[in-house]
Amino acid sequence: MRNLPANLLIAIVCVLTSLSGRANAEQWPTRVVKFVVPFSAGGTTDILGRLMAQRLSEEYGQQFVVENKGGAGGNIGTDAVAKAAPDGYTFVVGTPGPHVINQFLYKNQPFDSAKDLAPVIVIARVPNIITVNPDVQAKDVERAHRPRERAARQVVLTRRPA
What is the model's pLDDT at position 140? 78
Q: Say if 88 falls within a structural domain.
A: yes
Q: Say if 19 falls within a structural domain.
A: yes
Q: Say if 96 falls within a structural domain.
A: yes
What is the model's pLDDT at position 130? 82
Q: Which residues of the chain have pLDDT under 70?
A: 1-25, 144-162
What is the model's pLDDT at position 25? 46
What is the model's pLDDT at position 139? 75
What is the model's pLDDT at position 132? 83
Q: Say if 137 falls within a structural domain.
A: no
Q: Say if 151 falls within a structural domain.
A: no
User: Which of 51, 71, 53, 72 is CA-nearest to residue 62?
Assistant: 53
Q: Say if 146 falls within a structural domain.
A: no
CATH number for the domain that contains residue 119: 3.40.190.150
pTM equals: 0.69
What is the model's pLDDT at position 77? 98
Q: Say if 135 falls within a structural domain.
A: no
Q: Say if 85 falls within a structural domain.
A: yes
